[in-house]
Amino acid sequence: MSQLTQSVCQPENTQQAITQNQSKPAPPCTLVIFGGAGDLTKRLLIPSIYNLQAAGLLPENFAIIGVARADKNDEQFRADLSEEIKAFATTQVEETIWKQLINKVYYLRGNFDEAPTYEALKLRLDEIEKIHNTGKSRLYYLATGAEYFPKIAELLGQTDMVKQEEGVWRRVIVEKPFGTDLQSAEALNRSLLSVLEENQIYRIDHYLGKETVQNILVFRFANGLFEPLWNNKYVDSVQITVVESVGVENRGNYYDKSGALRDMVPNHLFQLLTMTAMEPPTSFQPDAVRSEKAKVLQAIHPLTDEQVRTQTVRGQYSSGVIKGKEIPDYRNSPKVNPQSETETFVAMKLFVDNWRWAGVPFYLRTGKCLPKKRSEIVITFKKAPFSLFRGEDVGSLEPNNLILHIQPEEGISLQFGAKIPGPKVMLSGVEMDFNYHDYFGQSSSTGYETLIYDCMIGDATLFQRADNTELGWKVVDPMLKLWQSEKADFPNYVAGSNGPAAADELLARDGRAWRQIK
């Protein structure tokens, strides 16, 4: 496809608008991180909190307590984070800003499932809140294994540390996975809601912190150009792709129990699907948005066993080469069962059975060890009638594609047909691109900044409600159950390829093809 480069001239008021698009600092509070010595904290949470500090979005009266089993004290914890931030920060660390933050950081050694930890935490919180004048509002971040979520909530409740009152809020951030199937998701919600109100629970999906994901709603509902076309009259199909070039690496212990379906589909992919397919909410209030997303999931009817066999594909990678690096078989990866039946690739065809989308297939795929890392949504519009060009050697008329690029590059591109210069009428596919980096400058975020800030100010728009999580599992559950009962023919795709041949056949049967990953 030839390239038509869109010359993006930054309007004079764009930089001014960026400068003005600054929120007020969050209200005073204390952040408690369960799993404070873990990978998530050092790689993403602390860099995100540093970025919030640098942007002036953290309150002056603020403190952090990390809770973990590691044998550390405040000074050791601060020293470790000061070293780790150099490796994981998304921007140059300014010593003055870092010093302002790290002096508000504390550590408590303890086990997540033992009551004495919470008694000690309660005393420590009282002490730190007085030192930093943070008030009594608290944000508890569960950066632990999912098996600890119910117990942490229970012990916080038993020690009266999640009780709210006038002017004092207590909120809990829960990391995915939100269960491993429908039954466990329902059990997790029951245990959390036995201690907390729904408005205290923030089920976080870092994908929703990405600018392009949030821009889906703006793109659809703030532009009169595309929303009138956003329906089955004009849209032929939708492809949602979230793939990685890396393998399981050192996460075999977790991944071999989870697999691609559990790990990615009920959260990341379904979040992208619901934002693409939802109806316009009555407002951008959290429950208005989340209710429309729930309606999309309700409209996806769970597949029968026969439909699972014909409308879904699972795969597991064998050895190959990606970017010059030898990749071993998934089954030969560390901490993976040598006879593992765990899928590392999933593709499926789903239908949103409502008035807007009736008959439009939504193709989803996710996997590891594909040629490159890519997350995108492709809206393919129906082809134009050919009769106008009868008798002209124009070649085939290709459909128009609108592509929402989520990562690694963030932006939007539109593919359409244009006449090739010359006396004959001949067409060529061309492309117009909007790139966030070119227009708004380099983003230096982890994706967590917006989400953590929203938790602090009490905006739950980008977080999943209990019903949303359960509706997602209702769609996935029939696949899990059938796959557990039927043996897979693994491995069935080479590392560095575009996935199993059956995934290509899934679309080929409908006369369509995946957008190539290259």
Give the pLDDT band of residue 316 (cuts 50, 70, 90): very high
Give the pLDDT band of residue 415 (cuts 50, 70, 90): confident
- Tens of pLDDT, residues 12-51: 454 444 444 567 999 999 999 999 999 999 999 999 999 9
What does the pLDDT read at residue 11? 47
Give the closest residue to 449 by CA, choosing from 90, 129, 203: 90
Is position 301 annotated as part of the catalytic site? no
Query: Which of 125, 152, 175 is the last residue in one of the domains?
Result: 175
Kind of pairing between the strands at 361-367 and 325-327: unpaired
Q: In whole numbers, what is the pLDDT of the chain averaged over residues?
A: 89
Is residue 281 in a domain? Answer: yes
Catalytic residue among 268, 301, 405, 437: 268
Give the closest residue to 498 by CA, choosing from 250, 243, 270, 281: 243
Give the closest residue to 155 by CA, choosing from 143, 142, 169: 142
Q: Where are the beta strands (DSSP E) in 131-181?
A: 138-142, 170-175
Q: Is it the case that residue 5 has pLDDT exceeding 70?
A: no
Is residue 18 in a domain? Answer: no
Residues 233, 516, 343, CA angle at the centre, nearest 5°? 100
What's the token pair of residue 107? 């550590």
Q: Is it the case that residue 2 has pLDDT exceeding 50?
A: no
Is residue 360 in a domain? Answer: yes
State the CATH number of the domain containing residue 36. Answer: 3.40.50.720
- Tens of pLDDT, residues 472-481: 999 999 999 9
8 A C-beta contact, residue 446 and residue 207? no
Look up the pTM and report it: 0.90
Same domain for 161 and 279, yes or no, is no
Query: Which of 131, 158, 175 is the last residue in one of the domains?
Result: 175
Query: Which of 152, 175, 198 is the last residue in one of the domains?
Result: 175
* Domain span at 144: 23-175
Is residue 76 in a domain? Answer: yes
Is residue 256 in a domain? Answer: yes
Mean pLDDT of the region 156-178: 93
Mean pLDDT of the region 410-415: 86
Is residue 201 in a domain? Answer: no
Give the pLDDT band of residue 334 (cuts 50, 70, 90): very high
Give the pLDDT band of residue 250 (cuts 50, 70, 90): confident
Is residue 10 in a domain? Answer: no
Residues 38, 107, 255, CA angle at the centre, nearest 5°? 15
Give the pLDDT band of residue 381 (cuts 50, 70, 90): very high
